[in-house]
Amino acid sequence: MIVAAECEFFLYETHSLKEKRAILQRMLTRTRQQYNISIAETDHQDLWQRAGITMAAVSSSGVTAEREIDRVLNFLMSHSGWEMTSSKKYHL
């Protein structure tokens, strides 16, 4: 079972694309190290206060994959420098 999620974030503390990329790189690396998922910035690469992130978890159980995605979403929402403005989950 594959569960994917797309989320959009608004970054309050960035003033340039360089600052945005530094924050995103740190968070995406940390997420990859802590969770068994694939994650990447997939939208709004040219905007310095918005980020579109897509992630996917693969498991033999849909429940396990969804739980991993939920854990990652909670982890990303806990970062104080940004706010999640939207998210969508897909079961493939």
User: For the whole prediction, is pTM greater than 0.85?
Assistant: yes
Residue by residue, pLDDT tens for the chain (92 residues) are 999 999 999 998 899 999 999 999 999 999 999 999 999 999 999 999 999 999 999 999 999 999 999 999 999 999 888 999 999 999 98
Which residues, including other chains, have CB under 8 Å from residue 8's CB and lie 6 or more apart? Answer: 43, 44, 50, 51, 52, 53, 84, 85, 86, 87
Q: Contact 13/55 with Cβ under 8 angstroms?
A: no
Instruction: Please tell us whether the domain made up of 2-91 is placed in CATH 3.40.50.970.
Output: no
